[in-house]
């Protein structure tokens, strides 16, 4: 198999990364994709950095063992805490979801306040704040593109969002109440944009948008990451050759049926080719 024809590997702690998978499939219809969801150990957001690095490294080994040409860490928690370690180990390019989302936030904010919501681990890592400030520093190096620094980054952990999505509570009153509880403190800051700092959160995008108001632009890091992946593959001559629709393989560490049922809602279609790993990831 030619290197160009090797698959793109994507992983997440569970279902949430399917929002990134969906965006990558949309703009790269001919690429073969392999997705791994660590459904036995979800959520990652309440685990230690050491544990997240361990789990992410095991999944990286699983994907590179299947000869992927790049790896997309479709998990904000892993992206914030394990990305540097994974890049050192991988032997192939590794992309996270934080830098693309941060770059888009700076682009659309016009110097206004930027809000970020995510898991406890992502927010505690301050990964988005660091990435946003890094992007601003880059822009301020170009005098023609200087960024107004009179703004705030407001970060809020929303730990109940992931289990609500994983349990399929996508439009229930309890979900609306939890969203109101978490976002009420953000609304008073009048953010120009809100970054969905967890790949599960796009499943709640309409409810979140309704709660925070139409003047705040919602940024989906999955969409921005898909664009980065496409541009990288194109720039480096790594796009798959041919015009046949790309194949798809899905692997999970537990509960295939639940993954297929909820995953179908994430993708808006039925899911095929889903397999249970047999101990080669869970050490």
Catalytic residues: 75, 198
What is the C-alpha separation between 117 and 196, in angstroms, rounded? 6
Distance in angstroms (rounded) separating the CA atoms of residues 164 and 174: 9
Given a contact cutoff of 8 angstroms between Cβ atoms, the answer to whether 114 and 105 are in contact is: yes
The conformation of residue 202, written as its DSSP 8-state character, comes to G
C-alpha gyration radius of the chain:
18
Question: How many residues comprise the chain?
Answer: 283
**Helix H or strand E segment including 193:** strand 193-197
Paired with 11 in beta bridges are 36, 73
């Amino acid at each position: 198999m030619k290197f160009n024809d090797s698959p793109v590997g994507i992983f997440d702690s569970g279902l949430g990364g399917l929002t990134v998978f969906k965006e990558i499939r949309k703009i790269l219809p001919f690429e073969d994709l392999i997705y791994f969801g660590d459904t036995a150990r979800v959520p990652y957001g309440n685990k230690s950095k050491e544990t997240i690095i361990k789990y992410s490294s095991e999944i990286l080994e699983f994907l590179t063992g299947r000869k992927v040409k790049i790896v997309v860490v479709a998990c904000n928690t892993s992206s914030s805490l394990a990305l540097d370690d994974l890049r050192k180990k991988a032997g192939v390019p590794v992309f996270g979801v934080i830098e693309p989302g941060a770059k888009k936030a700076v682009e659309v904010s016009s110097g206004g306040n930027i809000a970020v919501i995510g898991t406890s681990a992502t927010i505690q890592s301050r990964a988005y704040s660091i990435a946003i400030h890094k992007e601003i520093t880059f822009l301020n190096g170009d005098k023609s593109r200087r960024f107004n620094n009179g703004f705030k980054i407001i970060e809020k952990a929303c730990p109940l969002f992931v289990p609500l999505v994983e349990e399929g509570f996508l439009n229930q009153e309890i979900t609306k109440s939890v969203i109101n509880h978490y976002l009420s403190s953000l609304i008073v800051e009048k953010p120009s944009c809100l970054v969905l700092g967890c790949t599960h959160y796009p499943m709640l995008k309409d409810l979140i948008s309704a709660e925070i108001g139409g003047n705040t632009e919602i940024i989906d890091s999955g969409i921005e990451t898909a664009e980065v992946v496409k541009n990288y593959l194109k720039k480096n001559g790594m796009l798959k050759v041919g015009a046949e629709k790309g194949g798809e393989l899905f692997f999970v560490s537990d509960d295939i049926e639940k993954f297929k049922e909820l995953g179908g809602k994430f993708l808006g279609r039925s899911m095929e080719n889903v397999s249970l790993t047999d101990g080669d990831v869970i050490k």
